[in-house]
Amino acid sequence: MRVLITGGAGFIGSHLADAYIARGDEVFALDDLSTGSIDNIRHLRAHPRFHYTIESVHHGPTVAELVDQCDVVFHLAAAVGVRLIVESPVRTIETNVHGTEVVLAKANKKKKKVLIASTSEVYGLSDQVPFREDGNLVLGPTSRGRWSYACSKAIDEFLALAYWRERKLPTVIVRLFNTVGPRQTGQYGMVVPTFIKQALTGRPITIHGSGDQSRCFAEVGDVVSALVALMDHPAAVGEVFNIGSSEEVTVRALAERVKSMTGSASEIVSIPYEQAYGEGFEDMPRRVPDIGKVNRLIGYSPTKSLDQILQSVIDFFRDAP
């Protein structure tokens, strides 16, 4: 199979490329390197079944040419990370909405199956925990830029489902919950690599808010296996799936665990949200997925515990040059 991955030099995209290359398929990666990195795919560049193009997903002719060469499309290119969302809301909205418009329009011409990567952020302030795919999405006011990302990804979902219902373009939507693993950067606010780098360098481990907010972390290899299985499964078309872990941990407990596992002397420090992200920032108190739907279809269940995930990331940063 010939696979196109937009955002193919990103954290998840590069691991997805690894999986398809290992399976014997041919991979075409598209990335403008705005948040991805050539380092993530350096080990693949000489492989005869790996091809990469450095260009924006907004560039229609490039996307059209790559779509024509491939059998399926994974659309992972997006503005990611809380810090980027808060600091660059225009870029966030335009990247997410227009990029998805381009990919779906080009894929539709040849009816190539598309998987759209969405996010747990779309559940917003919902208190219906654990979150189900058919649950209500509860977003904050438009005056809070924090919610522009969630809204833009929700529009991506609406558009992908509309292409399926109206134009019979086979689309699959996945809502990813805090995917973690080697190659992930903390540059845009991702909490696990941030905590680990702070701990390994002896800097304060910085918690935003009280630290009582809870999250669930899924290992990138588990997530990639689910993406591949969903792309292969005909019954996934036209559906939305949560992919993540149900092992819930507070951010403060996560910081304490990172400190213990690294043997760090770092102090754990709380920083008000206003100081970290500006006035009026809102956060979700809990973000826990119901993963029953994806389990029933493809048998997905996380294979790695939080401690195993953290250890793999700690080892990655310790071994990094």
Active site residues per annotation: 149
Strands 248-250 and 214-216, bridge-based pairing: antiparallel
Q: 10 Å Cβ neighbour count for 309?
A: 24
Say whether the peptide bond before residue 130 is cis (omega within 30 degrees of 0). Answer: yes
Query: Residue 183: left if φ>0, alpha if ψ -120 to 50, beta else—which one?
Result: left
Q: Name the residue with tokens 């499309």.
A: 73
Q: Contact 38/9 with Cβ under 8 angstroms?
A: yes
CB atoms within 10 A of CB 258: 25
How far is 233 from 221, CA to CA, in rounded Å?
19
Tokens of 196: 């680990």
Q: What are the DSSP E strand ranges found in 138-210? A: 171-176, 179-180, 205-208
Radius of gyration of the chain (CA): 19
* Residue listed under structure tokens 């809204």: 151
Nearest to 243 by CA among 115, 70, 148: 115
**C-alpha dihedral sign at 55, 57, 58, 59:** positive
What is the 8-class DSSP label of residue 315?
H
